[in-house]
Amino acid sequence: MYAKDISTKIKSTLHTKAKRGEYLGALDPYGYLRHPDDKHKLIINEETAPVVRRMFEMCAAGIGARSIASTLNNEGILSPKEYTRFRKHNPERDGEFERRHFWTRTYVQFMLKNEIYVGSMVQGREYTPSYRSKKREPIPKEDWIVVPNTHEPIVSRELFDEAQKRMGARKKTIQAKDEPDLFAGLFFCEACGTSMLPKVSQQKYFYYNCGRSHAIGKLACSSHYINRDTFHQAVLEDIRRNAKLFSEDAEKAAQRLMELKCADQQKQTATMKRDIASAKKRLADLDVKLKRTYEDNMSGKLPDHIFTVFIADYDTERATLKANIAEMEKAL
């Protein structure tokens, strides 16, 4: 009961702060920095704000979110997550910086719809139903806490509105299907393992495309695609071939299918073992970095507030790695 009361009081305090327009996020929003004298106020980050302006200008010019993401990725501009990680990166402690995450269509759309860039503080998009759970639930847009004119805008209201207009015009009308795609979740890109997604061009050309390539661009995975009719025909021919084999010699056909299944399982096992080894190596690297971080903090090289962020990130990644390793080892 005590924990519940504390949780309720904390939520009430944060709600009051949000209604005053105070920034409550744990990380700096892309394009901004927290004010050095007041962490609840935002100031423009002159390093990333031009990227934000360019994104809105591209959108207002009629360029889609996926094309914007692909352009930024190809130009080597770090995504918000990577930029945050880069700012914390210490070459002496962490080694050479390696890019892991990319801009995606979804995140570009999120930024282009975010009124924080016109100077409004937008908070209260999610809530935690219970103090016993860390699960977050979305809040309807009409109930978000929006406080205008809390900080300097990066883009004008006119540019923001034009971007919204362009995004709205680009939305495709999705017609209800009589039945779902037969191969949804069953058909994967050979190069990266991502699901192949059913797509249709403006010329009504139906095909399957690598989901990772579609979301991020060719930098993440080459654009593997196949015509829908060609793929369906190949599957149908395989079914007919196996049906013929079973009709001629069921025992031989069953043996052949088992051989194919075993070969596939061996391939999956080999891949899983490589993933386990890679995860364990990363875990060992994190332990070394964790020790160095403690040493830097104790010696005064690393301020406490940055140290706290580092430790939280390390702990989260270590917990994820351990869970993934345990799950893969169990599967083996």
In contact, 259 and 243? CB cutoff 8 Å: no
Cα distance between residue 105 and residue 263, in whole Å: 37
Angle between helices 49-60 and 105-112 (to 10 degrees): 90
**Could you tell me the two tokens for 12?**
């009430």
Beta bridge partners of residue 207, listed in sequence order: 199, 227
Strands (E), 69-210: 121-123, 126-127, 137-138, 145-147, 196-200, 206-210
Please provide the CATH number assigned to the domain covering 2-170.
3.90.1750.20
pLDDT along the chain (332 residues), means of 10: 48 74 86 91 95 96 91 92 89 83 91 94 76 69 87 96 89 50 79 82 81 75 81 88 84 82 80 86 85 82 74 79 82 73
Count of residues in the chain: 332
pLDDT for position 172: 53
Structural domain boundaries of the chain? 2-170, 180-248, 249-332
CA dihedral 208, 211, 212, 216 (to 10 degrees): 100
Q: Which two tokens stand for residue 256?
A: 């052949």
pLDDT value of residue 148? 92
Distances (CA, A) of 145 to 40, 175, 255: 15, 34, 63
Whole-structure pTM value? 0.61
* AA identity, residue 66: R
Q: What percent of the chain has pLDDT over 70?
A: 89
The answer to whether 197 touches 215, Cβ cutoff 8 Å, is no
